Structure 1
């Protein structure tokens, strides 16, 4: 956004703003748009609150910039299942021939790294054959009117390919690998393979960029911070039973609207009075998104 665009968004000569340091600023138009533009450069700028009740002249275009409701979407395996991706928890899962403890733990990596790499190479190859479904695409549409943040437990890249802008992967990303010695050395290999002897730039073996069972979830605090800011919380295709992701629900503000989309009858622990759409993600998410867009 340029200064000129911001200036045009303001239709009055006097505004009252509360900046993130809680100071009250009352200024005339020339000063306001200059101050606001400078704040735009800082990470904290989206937290500015415009008090429309006191400032009746705030224009609709300014509201659309500063006052979009924040929608936080927590997605699990159910949203990707309709694209053909199976999980360990499926009774007829694609990866039934592998036991979790053989391929998805640090101990498994220590015992048989070749088997672990084989497993993830197969998963990566299969990922390259599927496409985002209606649920993924509907969440992109939601960005027309909302500030949307997706927190996914899935390791696939279907949200990215659908076009969602803000995605936090709690459990890592299948299309990436990282150094076994330096977690900061992460490489995107797409749907390719890695094998024993494939090293990072420091000479150490590469491993899947996945949070294995028993490992810490490094982005859990960042995810909790996002949930704590939610105006609307969508929970799609997850059992709500797997921690630490399930614990994120406790951070949702009491005031925020909560929706669950899942075909199963779930114990919705951690949140009060959610609206439940007992449907597959491919049908339920577009329905819910259209409703939210029409109501806001």
Structure 2
């Protein structure tokens, strides 16, 4: 049992109870990225949890906002929980892609809940988030910044949080997207709670021919046929756009491209060589 001492007295936070029995859904939900939907045979299953992983600057939050916009413009209510950025920062980021998030908020199709947790506030943050979910009843839930959360929790607590997240989706039909920042060259399997996710999307950066390029690959998607190829993507004025396969990928992995540290880390990751035990930045 945890508690806070507030201005009006002591506030007690009981342990979070588990969610109800998990269900199986056959309906597909769009990720908001058309090319990724095609790679996933039509999107992710309703009630599933997708984990988007990558280094800083690879487009994780942009992908999450795109997931929000696609849902909200389809009249799905979307809750965006961030552990790294304020609502104002996220709205400004959306505006740069032409997404009018303020209008979606006014229509109650989008809602932001942003926290900067520390060890003493974790239980309060979770209780508040659960209260918002029960009150707002979203169809989609985004948790942006799992890495910041992991840093202030012990391993068992963090595992239980991710487990509750995946169970929430399967018991209520809420489709979840979570993001996590990885260290350079890390494999998704190095992020030890990744086994709980239904879908894992890895975003990468590589320097080739004096230009910085981005790549994505689906590492797993439970119950779905997937396109296993490594695809190039760009962050355009419309958001994340998936492009063609890396036609020169063999050259990059084989060493024909200039071998910067970034290329070596990216190459090792797709070759199956983990760079560190945890894969998470210090």
* Shared fold per TM-score greater than 0.5: no
Larger Rg: 1
TM-score range, shorter chain: under 0.3
User: What TM-score does the superposition give when structure 1 sets the normalisation length?
Assistant: 0.24
More contact order relative to length (CA 8 Å, sep ≥ 6): 2
User: What TM-score does the superposition give when structure 2 sets the normalisation length?
Assistant: 0.25
